[in-house]
Structure 1
Amino acid sequence: MQTSVNHLVGPLQRFMAHNANPDVQTHLMGNTVQLWPREMSEQVDKDDLLIVIPAFMLSELQAGLQIGFLIYIPFIVIDLIVSNLLLALGMQMVSPMTISLPLKILLFVLVDGWSRLLDALFYTYVI
């Protein structure tokens, strides 16, 4: 049983260490010196599971938030433009969402949003 666990953990650990942000790993290593007991912090290595797992998770969260922010920017610009146009035309009672939502969906379809989103997710593992 122990050898099968080692065969599973090894490739997973290498994958996570390869795809984790080195800055996050360095930061976590610095935190071990401050937060852990001295004996534990001296024995820990940059490729230990106790460092690699949180570094990989934080790197993935960081990449996801960056992708989400880049998707959010054009949508908020559409909202601002539609709101300003409606106010300029004197249509205060019309909800901007009724006009901006179809425009957002149209923009997402025209720029092939799903493939761009999936490519951005896949390329986080390539680079």
Structure 2
Amino acid sequence: MAHHRTYAGALAAALMLLPAAALAQGLNLDLGALAGGSLGEGASLSGRIIQGIVLLTVLSVAPGLLIMVTSFTRIIVVLSLLRSALGLQQSPPNVVLLSLAMFLTFHIMGPVFDAAWQDGLRPMLNEQVTQEQGLERMVEPFRGFMAAQVRDKDLSAFAGFSGKPEAERPKTAEQAELRLLVPAFLLSELRRAFEIGFLIFLPFLVIDMVVAAVLMAMGMMMLPPVMIALPFKIIFFVLTDGWFLIAGSLIRSYGGA
């Protein structure tokens, strides 16, 4: 049951940025009814086709929506920088990094997904609340998550870009519109990811410098230092249990246990 709530919460994240007016129409659109029934079954068939197109569009943009409003951005950038710091080009493969980032995201975002399911999506599916109310309830957990991570500087910058007068700009992240909060959240996530990446690079940079200095002292100028340093960086990373440390640090960076 917990898995169902997690995946349903992920669906809630995909739906949260859709316009409320579009959701209010539901999935029972019937062009025949809109046309007063004059077009008959042909119009109804056209309506079904449009429904299918809309559904496919929602499913195609769902991964992008999940990236924008979850911890996925920070995690995948850090893992990519880690691979670069190790000096590895294709190991671990992209599919492995994406899978690890996805499951770490599900772990971090579990309470948010669960809240979106319990408070918004499930009551809406059970017709206990209207679609507009369900959408608002689904958005709130993600808004709270982003508000806790976004920098005031980034939010103020996008509020200024909107061209609104100073008096009409949001005073807190909780009051900000999603079109301001989401890009500000992404900028904050990228900044923190690169800060973590800088700290990851430092020990591997030291290994590269030591290996290069030793090779130069030995007069082995033609031997590539990167090739010699690679096994030392790998064994250093393994001995320090690097994957465990990186995963734990990413989880704790969001206040996780």
TM-score bin (small chain): 0.7 to 0.9
Q: Separation in 1 of the partners of 2:224 and 2:161?
A: 53
Alpha-carbon distance, 1:76 to partner: 1.0
Q: Is the 8 A contact 1:25 1:51 kept in 2?
A: no
Q: Aligned with 2:144: secondary structure?
A: helix
Give the match's secondary structure for 2:253: helix
How many pairs align? 122
Tell me which structure has the larger Cα radius of gyration: 2
CA distance in 1 between counterparts of 2:194 and 2:225 reads 26
Name the structure 2 match of 1:82.
211
Report the Cα distance in structure 1 between the residues aligned to 2:149 and 2:191, rounded to whole angstroms: 12
4+ residue runs of structure 1 moved beyond 6 angstroms?
none
Q: Does 1:44 align with 2:174?
A: no
Deviation at 1:25, TM superposition (A): 1.8
Q: Give the unaligned 5+ runs of structure 1.
A: none
The alpha-carbon deviation at position 8 of structure 1 amounts to 1.0
The answer to whether the 8 A contact 1:25-1:52 is kept is no
- After TM superposition, list the pairs within 5 Å mapping 1:1-127 onto structure 2: 1-20=131-150, 24-29=151-156, 32-33=159-160, 36-38=163-165, 41-45=166-170, 46=172, 47=174, 48=176, 49-126=178-255
Distance 1:126 1:29 in 2: 24
Shift of 1:99: 1.1
| Cα distance between partner residues in 2 of 1:30 and 1:55 | 8
Cα RMSD, aligned residues only: 2.1
- Aligned residue for 2:135, secondary structure, equals helix
Listed as ranges, the gaps of 5+ residues in structure 2 are 1-130
Equivalent pair of 2:146/2:185 in contact (CA under 8 Å) = yes
8 A contact 2:207–2:229 mirrored in 1? yes
Percentage identity across paired residues of the two chains: 36
CA gap 1:61/1:33 in 2 versus in 1, 3 angstroms: closer
Superposition TM-score, scaled by structure 2 size = 0.43
Deviation by residue 1:49-73 (Cα, 9 ceiling, x = unmatched): 3443233222211221111111111
